Structure 1
Amino acid sequence: MTLLEGFIILVAGVAAGTINTIVGSGTLITFPTLLAFGVPPVTANASNTIGLVPGAISGAIGYRRELAGQRSRVLRLLSASALGGLLGAVLLLALPAAAFEAVVPALILLGVVLVVTGPRISRWVAKRHEATGGLPHHGAWWVWPAILLAGVYGGYFGAAQGVLLMAIMGIGISETLQRLNGIKNILGAVVNGVSGLFFAFVADIDWQVVVLIALGSVVGGQIGAGVGRRLPDLWLRGTIVVVGLTALVLFIRG
């Protein structure tokens, strides 16, 4: 790895940590970057997952005020994310590499679509909040299994996992979006942490990549938490879409 490549990966980690805290699609920045430098897809995914864990923790700490009074809710949903993350990680390594390479373009495209439609999802969520009432503190009955499935997706690949989590919780839990965003950051950290721990023991990991993304994502997590309520996300969404489409081209041509 050259000095320039290392610097670019570090910067990508900062961007991913920031975006994950605010939007939840940072993998669409780091994953294509690693592919562009010749890191094999499965190795890139596993290394990226581990590297983003410190950034997710950093973002969760930055949102600690929004987490006040939500301890029991968080603990209940943590179990779903932990189990889902482990199942997703097992699937990544159990399925042949060719299967991962075949499904990644569809996953990236799904992530791009979710990012593009994020504002529409948010408006729909807001309407649901106005129309529903009396939901249990932990949310509707289907929230736990839906969080589990999102965890499986996150453990397997993870791009736009945060958008999925916000859509699920926004519909099924009567709470403000900012407070739900605090939960989202914790659940994302758990999914990446569980799957990353699994990868560390059984997968091919590029530890240089892990360190660079980890350092960058910690900084990005704090940036995202600090400006998340004020920064317009239009340019963030545009960047993710461009990078995501670039990754699609790389896969199709490669």
Structure 2
Amino acid sequence: MTIWEMLAVFAAGVGAGTINTIVGSGTLITFPVLVATGLPPVTATVSNALGLIPGSISGAIGYRAELKGQRRRVLRLGVAAAIGGLCGAILLLLLPATAFETIVPVLVGLALVLVVLQPRISKAVQRRRERQGDPAGGDPAGGPLLFTGLLLASVYGGYFTAAQGIIYLSLMGMLLHDTLQRLNAVKNILAAVVNTIAAIFFLFAAHFNWTAVLLIAVGSAIGGQLGARVGRRLPPTVLRAIIVVVGVAAIVQLLLR
């Protein structure tokens, strides 16, 4: 990598760490930057998964106050995240690279749709809570339906992490009675579990670029703290606009390869 490419990867790591902590979809920033430096898509995905671990942990630490009283929920849903993340990582390496290059633009497109629809999803969740009334009712861990949904979402997360956080929030928001801030704290833990499990597998079974990993790791750790401290003050529309622009650029770049 040239010095300018290294700076771009580091900046992408900061941006991804920040957005992942607040919303999710930070991979839509790091992935196209890594591909632009010349890394093959699979190598870029593996390097990205390894590099984003510190950012996920940093974001989870930043939301530690919202995690109080959620130990049972985190442990139960964390099992689903671990199993799904490992399955997704295995699929990434079992499927041929040509299949990955075909699937990724579709996944990015679906992720962008989720990003755009997030305000409507949040409003629908809020209306549902208002109709049901009791914010403390129901199974605090969401029951088998949420476990299964998060398991499948984590398979996707282990394969390609873009928008997994938004999927987590959507599922938990529909099936759990709690504030979105507390659910966001759980989302950060689940993302950290998926990234860590996938990364451990990749360390022994996949090719990656250590320079990219280290740059994203440092950048995402910084971004995780920024997201936890000041992210709530940033206009959500601005964040979504940035994600959509970068995601569209990623799709165009992948289709032109």
TM-score bucket of the superposed structures, by smaller chain = over 0.9
Instruction: Indicate yes or no: 2:56 matched with 1:56.
Output: yes
Task: Report the CA distance between 1:158 and its aligned residue.
Answer: 1.2
Corresponding residue for residue 118 of structure 2: 118
Q: CA deviation at 1:235?
A: 1.4
Separation in structure 2 between the aligned mates of residue 131 and residue 249 of structure 1, nearest angstrom: 42
Q: Please give the alpha-carbon distance, in whole angstroms, between the structure 2 residues aligned to 1:167 and 1:94.
A: 29
- Secondary structure in 2 aligned to 1:142? helix
What residue is the counterpart of 1:96 in the other structure?
96
The residue number in structure 2 matching 1:4 is 4
Q: Which residue of 2 aligns with 1:34?
A: 34
CA–CA separation in structure 2 for the residues paired with 1:196 and 1:124: 35
Structure 2 residue 186 is the aligned partner of structure 1 residue 192: no
Residue in 2 that maps onto 1:245: 248
Query: TM-score normalized by structure 1?
Result: 0.98
- 158-167 or 121-130, which moves further after superposition? 121-130
1:226 counterpart residue number: 229
Runs of 5+ unmatched residues, structure 1: none
* CA positional deviation for 1:200: 1.0
- Residues 50-59 or 137-146, more deviating: 137-146
Q: Does 1:13 align with 2:13?
A: yes
Question: Which residue pairs with 2:128 in the alignment?
Answer: 128
| CA positional deviation for 1:128 | 1.9
1:93-126 CA-to-partner distances (Å, cap 9, x unmatched) read 0111111001000000011111111111111111
In structure 2, distance between residues paired with 1:189 and 1:206: 20
Please state how far the C-alpha of 1:252 moved relative to its aligned partner: 1.4
- Counterpart of 2:181 (choices 178, 181, 185) is 178
Cα drift, residue 140 of structure 1: 3.7
User: Aligned pairs, how many?
Assistant: 254
Contact kept? 1:129, 1:170, Cα under 8 Å: no
| Backbone CA RMSD of aligned residues | 0.8
Are 1:160 and 2:194 an aligned pair?
no
Distance, in Å, in 1 between the alignment partners of 2:142 and 2:86 is: 23
Structure 1 equivalent of residue 153 of structure 2: 150
Q: Residue 117 of structure 1 aligns to a residue in which SS?
A: helix
Secondary structure at the aligned position of 2:182 is classed as helix
Indicate conservation of the 8 Å contact 1:143/1:172, yes or no: yes
Report deviation, 1:22. 0.3
State the Cα distance separating 1:131 from its structure 2 match: 2.5
Aligned partner of residue 8 in structure 2, secondary structure: helix
SS at match of 2:52: helix
Structure 1 residue 228 displacement after superposition: 2.7
**Paired residue for 1:202?**
205
Question: Is contact 1:86-1:152 (8 Å) kept?
Answer: yes
Unaligned ranges ≥5, structure 2: none
Q: Secondary structure at the match of 2:233?
A: coil
TM-score by length of 2: 0.97
Distance 1:108 1:57 in 2: 24
Moved over 4 A (4+): none
C-alpha distance in structure 1 between counterparts of 2:69 and 2:170, whole Å = 21
Deviations 1:137-185 (A, max 9, x none): 1124300010100100000001000000000000001000000000000
